Amino acid sequence: MITREQQYYDPPVNAVAALGRGVIAACQGTGQALLMLLGALAYVPQAFTPRNRANVVTQLYTMGIKSLGVVTVVGLFTGMILAVQMGLGLELVKQERYVSTLVCNGILREMSPFMTGLILAASVGSAIAAQLGTMTVSEEIAALDVMGVSPLRYLMMPRLVGLVVMAPLLTIYMDVLGLLGGAIVAATMLGVAPETYYDGLFEFTYNKDFYVGLVKAVVFALIIVSVSCYQGFRTQEGAVGVGRATRRSVIVSFLLILTLGYFVTRLWYS
Amino acid sequence: MIRFEHVTKRFGDKLVLDDVSCEIQAGETFVIVGLSGAGKSVSIRHMVRLLTPEQGRVWVGDDCISEATGRPLERILARFGVLFQGAALLQWLNVEDNVCLPLRQKTRLPDAEIRQRAADMLRLVGLEGVGDRMPADISGGMRKRVGLARAIVTQPEIILYDEPTSGLDPMISRQIDLLIDDLRRRLGVTSVVVTHDLYSALQIGSRVAMLHEGRFVVCAPPEEFIASPHPVVRNFLRAQGIVTLQDVHQAFAK
């Protein structure tokens, strides 16, 4: 059962006790979120069975298609901003033709999965936490538990599949748009011809740069689903609690995306 | 059928259930009454393991639900239908899909049969023809009846009602009471009802239990309950203007 009893503690006696309790709560929360993730992963083989198919397809559509607009704008401008910044630096040493190499590396390895992760955490993750939180406080999750319908299978697994499939696809889409944005700036501001820009794209770019970005997208998807579902399922105290769960979901996802993104990069490039 | 064995439950410093022991017989309608915050809902949440006792055990038949997990817990829960206080309907599903949900998720019945059974249940609760409406588009009383249809669609042995008439006008409240009584007679289910409405309790209950300060201070059939000299019961009856069972029957006759 996902429905959990509220825990009651005496107020901490001093700041050290409060800090200790915070650390313990963070460890407990991490453990519970990981257990939920493992529970939902165990249901993934059932994703396209008749009773789950409609839910999964709905989530794929909601998370993928409905995110296209914002991903398009962010992707294009991320590429343009990168090109402007790199270009200004390269102009100083008269090496503008390498702008595409730098933009390509930056977009594929870092900016595209990172920005996709942030967009999904802010839009999809917050929506998941708010929806599950509202369901929790209105006893809909308890009702599912009592009916013997696992909320991990019925609610979390479709969101997990939706995000793990869509995050890499959106990342690839943003890769293309980012490179396109860079090309626009290279041509209009730096005077780099399109064919020069294209040649430079893959001069120092390797397959690893592409798939590291995709690995990051999958890691970020797992983070967003675990954090937002955990925050949603443990919501208490009505509307205020839903707001708190949504805020926490976005903040924790942002922090984990930022820090784990760094470690994934270090793991592959150190 | 359901047995509380020395159940104690505390939320922080507040003692909600204090060494409660009682047994609910198969086929009866057991009504728990008490003031707001007395622990009525807490007691029925223990019956479906949404809460676990700090001390003591809760038994459903020969199974200890307060200690069950995994498949054994699922097997015990399959014996229950629960009507939650706010009906707890899934807001993005229409009325029919809400009622179909437990069958679609827990059985391999053909969809046509599931829809037929949902239609039968909606007819039973007096909601024929509203299957395509969304929960947000129907009244509170209708939502409760949809919740009831969902609770009984799996043909459970035991139905738990958490404040089935709270927030409803007296006419709808009486309809819901009659429906609960009708379901017990037609389907032969064991019912546990939590309410603060003594009219309901005395009309539909086989036994009425008064929960006060964590204990059942009186647990008796309606006629004995109404004659109880316990001061809490007397105050409760007086507050709702009930002197005899005749008052209750007259209220229903209206």
Residue A11 lies in a domain: no
Residue A6 lies in a domain: no
- Cβ contact, residue pair A146, B50, below 8 Å: yes
Q: Which of A3, A8, A147 sits opposite B50 (nearest CB)?
A: A3
Range of the domain at A174: 50-269
Tokens of B250: 């007259």
**What are the chain B neighbours of A5 within 8 Å (beta carbons)?**
51-52
Residue A168 lies in a domain: yes
Residue A39 in contact with partner chain B when CB distance is under 8 A: no
Residue A10 lies in a domain: no
- Cβ contact, residue pair A148, B104, below 8 Å: no
Location of structure tokens 């930056």:
A106
Question: Residue A141, Cβ neighbours under 10 Å: how many?
Answer: 26
Q: Which residue of A has its CA nearest to B83?
A: A143
Per-residue pLDDT tens over the stretch A72-90: 999 999 999 999 999 999 9
Mean pLDDT, rounded, of chain A? 93
Domain boundaries, chain B: 89-155
Per-residue pLDDT tens over the stretch A13-54: 999 999 999 999 999 999 999 999 999 999 999 999 988 999
What value of ipTM does the predicted structure carry?
0.90
CA distance B205 to B84: 19
Per-residue pLDDT tens over the stretch B157-198: 999 999 988 877 888 788 888 888 888 888 889 999 999 888
- Cβ contact, residue pair A135, B90, below 8 Å: yes
Of the candidates B216, B211, B228, B193, the residue with the CA atom closest to the CA atom of residue B22: B216
CA distance B200 to B248: 8
Residue A8 lies in a domain: no
Q: How confident is the model at residue B253 (pLDDT cuts 50, 70, 90)?
A: low
- Domains in chain A: how many in total? 1
pTM: 0.90
pLDDT of residue B246: 74
- Cβ contact, residue pair B84, A148, below 8 Å: no
- Cβ contact, residue pair B88, A143, below 8 Å: yes
Q: Which residue type occupies A159?
A: R
Residue A165 in contact with residue A67, Cβ under 8 Å?
no
CA distance A197 to A104: 10
- Cβ contact, residue pair B73, A149, below 8 Å: no
Residue A19 in contact with residue A25, Cβ under 8 Å?
no
Location of structure tokens 């006792």:
B53
CA distance B244 to chain A (A): 37
Q: How confident is the model at residue A5 (pLDDT cuts 50, 70, 90)?
A: confident
Q: Please give the average per-residue pLDDT across B216-237, as a whole number.
A: 91
Q: Which of A8, A51, A142 sits opposite B11 (nearest CB)?
A: A8
- Cβ contact, residue pair A139, B104, below 8 Å: no
Of the candidates A206, A200, A201, the residue with the CA atom closest to the CA atom of residue A269: A206
Residue A95 lies in a domain: yes
